[in-house]
Every structure is written in structure tokens, then in C-alpha cells.
Structure 1
């Protein structure tokens, strides 16, 4: 019997993965044509590996979720073709979010995890809401339930992203690849997967499993503010990056093996010279999703309704709303909410600085030294935010 495994968490998972994907790789290199049936079989096998066996309750929740979201999105598409109603749109978005909302609030109501929960529900919900919103915008004109289900259940990214866009995914599905083009993708896939091993299983393990517990114990024993706490901050930041970036490399690399150009999720975030640039490099698919489907739409509404006279005030309100939502999405605890408020404050202050810098650009130097200083300040500001995010301060002071 095939054991239940978390995606990309154990070496045996990769053994199954490479055995299953070998025929697809050989077929692509030989012909450049896409198979329809065999990739679907592979998807079912890996969904069973992740959501079967001891995780069968998650598998059943996933099946119910996909049926619910598919039916909801199809009904919205049919209704929109006939009549484009705003209240139906908002109701559809709310209904698409409902399973995730129940999963997030249930532990705070009865202390139990929701029966609707399964690994990756957040990322599937972001995909579902995206399709409804882009249908409303007229960007998605045709709706195929089977294509939608394949999009939701794309197994390389199902547990933690990256969050792909339906139109981009569908374009890959509809087009074959030249063998030479696929060979180039194959080389990139191998590079990403091997780099993922370095990140997740060597560097992530070293920072997260070797150093972090020891430094954390020292910081707890010392209590309060200490150099050990500073060490914990940097160590946790490195662990968070290498573990998540490593996972993302596995997901993107596996997607490439299947012939899908899933977008990258990280782009040297710690070299960002300001906090906005950091969010353009860190967990990019999530950052861009929140930007496109929450911030930009909220800004459009605030400006259209003339809620605020100043665009700057509207922008700041948008940032705080955005990052509070992001914090609450991570969890209904004070440190996640403070994490969101902290980043919103940083971005608003960054905008103040950029406006000041633009106004006084003649007197403010701009060279490698100032860029290095900006990168250093941004890096430390981000690491402090990850210390808040870790919840370690809750153990230390409360």
C-alpha cells in the first residue's frame, strides 16, 4: 500500500514522483505533444498519496470542496452571461470564501479543527475567487468545468502554491511544446529541484532543526531582550525563507516537468532595497494576488466613490486593509495581526520617504552605498517582522 505523504516533505515522495513523471518526460522530449489521460492518472495517484489513507478525511473534504466551488463558479458564469449583477458577484465571492472562513474561525468557536479543512484550502480558495473575479471582469469568457477542476487540482502546487492564474494555466494546457523548448524547460526543472534540495533539506534543516531550537532555548532561559533573541530572529528568518523557497522550487520544477510554466515564487527577496520591492520578490504569487484582487479593487472603489479626497490617504487605508486581511488569513492571533499592521506601517512610511526623496532628489545622494544601506535596513525590518510572525515573542513575554 502506498503511504500517505506530505508533498515534497520526504525523499520517498520524490522517488514516486520521478518514477511517475518519467514517461511524461520521455514523451515530451520525443514528440512535444501533451498527453491527456496519463497525467490525469498521475494526478489522481498523487492526490491519493497526499489525501488518502490516514488523511482520508482531508481527501473527502477536498472532493466536497471541488464539487462545491465548481458548481458555484459554473452557476456564476451562466448567470453573468444573462445578467451582470453586482450583488450576485459579491454573493458568489462570499460563497467561494465561505469554506476557508469556516476553517479559520471554527477552532476559535469550539476548539476543534473544521471538518471542511484540508491541506492547501487557502490556495485553492484564492484560485476559485480569482476565476470568479476575472469572469466578472470579462477576462474569462468561456468556462469549462473540467479545465477548472484540473486547474484547482494541479497537484504540484496544491498544498502551498505558487498561486497560478487560470488563463495562464489554460494557455499551457491548450498548447503543445516543441521538443527543444521542453528540453530547455527540463533543464530548468532539474536545476530548480536540485536547488530546492539545497534550500529545504540542507539549509532549511540546518537553520530550522539544528540551530533554531538551541537558540530559542537560550533566549527563553535568558528571558526578555537579549542577543539570543536577536540570533533567533535572524535564524528563524533564514529558516522561513529556505524552507518555503525550497518547497516552491520543488513545486515549480515539478510543474515544468509536466510542461506547465508555473510562475516562480521568490526572487532574491532579502536583496530588496525597500519594503515594496521586498513584497514584489517574496511569495510573489500571493503578493500579486492580494495586490490585484484586494488592494487594486479596494483602491478603485475608494477613488470612484470619493471616500477620501486625498489619493495618499486612500492608498494608506488600502495598505492597512490589505495587510490586516493578510494577517488574519494567517491566523486569528495577535501576532499575525500585528505582523500585518507592522508591514502596512512600513509601506506607508516607505511611500512618505519616496515622495520626500523625489522632491529633494538633487540633495539626496543615490549610489551603491545608499542602496546597500537601504537593503540592510529593509532586511532587518523584515527579519523583525518574521520574529513577530513566528509567535516566539508570545512564548517569551506572555
Structure 2
């Protein structure tokens, strides 16, 4: 085992090497980000009590956002004016490490004790490989103490392995299986989709993106635990929500809380009257859509969610029966989210609109049932399991098992067996299927 004083240097080298293997020379963008944000942190900390501190903070934020805009949005901006330029390669994970860098700078301005004097420790925070590619977005304040001094333990390592393997299984055994159906549905000409295939495709995609993204988050959290880091949760059963507002408290928690703390509240939040609150909310969801990608689809997806947030703010379900209201509010949430996912998944806006039309309009002329080619006993079983696991049923069962004497006595044997079975199934799946990257890798 490495001495404690060498662990951060080792992890920094591993993280940068990990990034360089995938992105080659674009690792220089990452290194440049570390250097710029370290220097900015020094200046912000030194001049915090003068106007210069705010100037350096604003300049550093602009440099971070400018880099993100250049790599992620230049092609999209030029396309709007029919200018053709050479395609700019998007560095993987740039949206995540840019937001982490900005959160560090803002927190240093607000809380002097968070200033990091050691450039290697700051570099480790920005480049830490477990969550580098697709989150969760980790606040510096949440892991500052663990970067400086952390304690590894056998129990924490075991819990990390369990979490990592669970996330891997979510991706390989559930998300990838559902992807075969969802991708087939969305690759078909939208005009040919029968109503049943349109619904099958979006239901599968709704579950696919949840298990794909939450699976990566689980793997990141698990890897973090293996190295002594305790990352915060990124998902909390979002599909059981009763409103869009609740959904965003449960879905991609690190992103929604980032926008709340670094955009919504600084803009005034809900403190400046109803009209300003609505403008702030719609602005935040517009930015949320833009953050996800340089496409009108993502802009519409963000505004779609923002519009329903405003509707929920200004009205209530006109139903007094609590049980009926609970059921209908969940149905409403799922319908809104699934229609939103059409914009998220479709290649362009026109395809999305035609697809949505086929979700609500039956026509006997549409008879392309090719997606059924991927529907078999395995995919049906996975679909059923995905629906069940996307609810807290598993958590409830585990709580009950923890009070069961037999399970407690044999827990030391059951969990390794569970991990072993999942790893065997995942290995078989990796050997039998082609490469299928995580959805959020492109953000």
C-alpha cells in the first residue's frame, strides 16, 4: 500500500492517464483547466475583500464557460447561420469538470477556508477519474477533507465493490437490453411507427436512460469508496415522483442542486416576486437543456420541463381524494417525463414532433413492427425487472431482510455470491454484445 503522502499524486497521475488514453492530446485541455483554476483561486482568495476579487471570479468563470462553449457549441452556433466549419471534437466529460471548476471558484470566493494552496490536490479534484466522464458533479466542499486526509477501510472497500458491480449490472444487463428495443424504434422512420411501437420505444428508453445514467453514478460512487471518497447520491427513484419539481429533486441531483445554488439563488430565486421567480425558473431550465447538448432538441426538452414547473407553481391538482390524487399525479409525471425524453432521444426536432404525434394518434396505415424483433423472453423479463427496480421495492425488501435472523447470519456469504453472479452475467454480456457507451458520455 502506498504511503498516505503519495496517494493523491498516484491518483492524479492515474486520472490524467485515464483521460489521455481516451482523449489523447485533449488531456491538455484538462491540464490547462487545472492551471487556470488554480491561479484564479489564488487571485480570488487574495483579493476577496475588494472589487478585484469579484472581477477575477467573473473572469475565471468566463474562461471556463468560454472553453466549454468553444468545444461544445461552436459547430451548433455556426450551423444556425449556415456556415460550415471543420467539426470540433468535444472533450469527453468537459461539461462535468467545467461545472466542478466553477463551483470551486465560487465556493472559494464565498468561504475562505475552501481555498486550496496545493495545485496537485486541486488537480486531483478536477480530474478525479471515477466520476470524471459522466458525473456526478462533485462539489469541492464535499470532498475537500477527503482529498487532504481520508481513511480507507475494508468495509468501505467492500461497499464500494458492491455498489460498482450493481452499477455495472444496471448498465450491461438492463440498460443495454432495453437499448436494443429503444434504438430500433427511434431508428425507424417516425411516419411508419404504429402507436404501440412508439409507446414501446419510449417506455424502453425511459428505463434505459435511468439505468444507464444511474448505473454510471453507482459505479463512480463505488470506485470513489474504494479509494476512500464518499460521493453524494445522484439519483433517488425519480420515476415515483408526483411532480416535475419533485422529479428534479430526485433525478441527476448533483446537476439540479448545482443550478439551484450557483444560478437560481444568485439570480434572486423566489425572493423577488412571482414574475421574477418564473423568469429565474425558466432561465435555469433553458440552461439545463443547453448544458445537455448543442441541439434545439435539448433546448426544447429543458423548456418543456420548465413550462411544467411553472404550471405546477401556479396551480394544483383539482382533486380532493388523496389516494386518487396520488395515482393521477404519478401518471401525469410519467407522461410529461416520457414525452420529454422523446425530444432528448430523437435526432432532430422534426423527428421528435412526428414521434410524439404517433404516441397519441392511431393509424392503421402504420405497420412497421420491426422493434418487435428484439422482444423476447429475456427482454420482457428485463423490462419487468426494470420497472420494479426503478421503485423503492428493493430498498424495502433489504430493510426487511436486515431484520431477518437467517439473512443476517448468512449475509457474509450471500453478498459475495450476489456480486459473483452479477459479475459472471456482466462478463457474459460484455463478451456477447458490441460496444455500447454510456448515454451521458457525450455531455
Q: CA deviation at 1:299?
A: 1.8
Shift of 1:220: 3.4
Q: Scaled by the length of structure 1, what TM-score is found?
A: 0.79
Q: CA deviation at 1:119?
A: 1.4
Question: Is structure 2 residue 170 aligned with structure 1 residue 170?
Answer: no
Q: Return closer, same or farther for 1:211/1:143 CA change in 2, 3 Å cut-off.
A: same
Alignment partners' CA distance in 1, 2:212 and 2:263: 27
Say which of 327, 331, 337 aligns to 2:293: 331
Q: 1:141 to 1:172 in 2, by over 3 A?
A: closer
Q: CA 1:85 to 1:341, structure 2 compared with 1: closer, same or farther past 3 Å?
A: same
The unaligned stretches of length 5 or more in structure 2 are: 79-83, 355-443
Equivalent residue for 1:386?
A: 341
Aligned to 1:68: 36
Query: Match of 2:24?
Result: 56
Distance 2:87 2:15 in 1: 24
Q: 2:58 aligns with which of 85, 90, 96?
A: 90
After superposition, the CA RMSD in angstroms is: 2.6
The answer on 1:281 being equivalent to 2:253 is no
Give the direction of change, closer, same or farther, for the CA distance of 1:211–1:222 in structure 2 (3 Å limit): same
CA pair 47-175 structure 1, distance change in 2 beyond 3 A: closer
- Residue 220 (structure 1) aligned with residue 190 (structure 2): yes
Compared with structure 1, are the counterparts of its residues 90 and 234 closer, same or farther at alpha carbon in structure 2 (3 Å cutoff)?
Answer: same
* Contact 1:264-1:284 at 8 Å conserved across structures: yes
TM-score, normalization by structure 2: 0.71
Q: Does 1:121 align with 2:94?
A: yes
Q: Number of matched residues?
A: 346
1:218 CA displacement: 4.9
Q: Structure 1 residue 213: deviation in Å? A: 2.9
Give the secondary structure class of the aligned counterpart of 2:74.
helix
Counterpart of 2:322 (choices 335, 354, 366) is: 366
Distance 1:135 1:124 in 2: 17
Give ranges in structure 1 of 5+ residues lacking alignment.
Answer: 1-22, 25-33, 358-362
Contact 2:15 2:129 in 1 (8 A): yes
Q: C-alpha separation between the residues in 2 aligned to 1:88 and 1:45?
A: 31
Counterpart for residue 106 of structure 1: 74
Q: Which residue of 2 aligns with 1:134?
A: 107
Distance 2:122 2:301 in 1: 34
Secondary structure of 1:80's counterpart equals: coil
User: Where does residue 311 of structure 2 map in the other structure?
Assistant: 349
Kindly indicate whether the alpha-carbon contact (under 8 Å) linking 2:20 and 2:26 is maintained by their aligned counterparts in 1: yes
The structure 1 residue matched to 2:263, chosen from 286, 290, 294, is: 294
What residue in structure 2 maps to residue 185 of structure 1?
A: 156
Q: Aligned-pair distance for 1:141?
A: 4.9
Aligned equivalents of 2:329, 2:353: Cα separation in 1 = 31
Q: 2:200 aligns with which of 208, 231, 235?
A: 231
**Residues 213/290 of structure 1: CA separation in 2 closer, same or farther (3 Å cut):** same
Evaluate the alpha carbon distance shift between residue 44 and residue 229 of structure 1 in structure 2; reply closer, same or farther with a 3 A threshold.
same
Q: Distance in 2 between matches of 1:137 and 1:253?
A: 30
Distance 1:396 1:159, change over 3 A: closer
CA contact (8 A) 1:131 1:140 kept: no
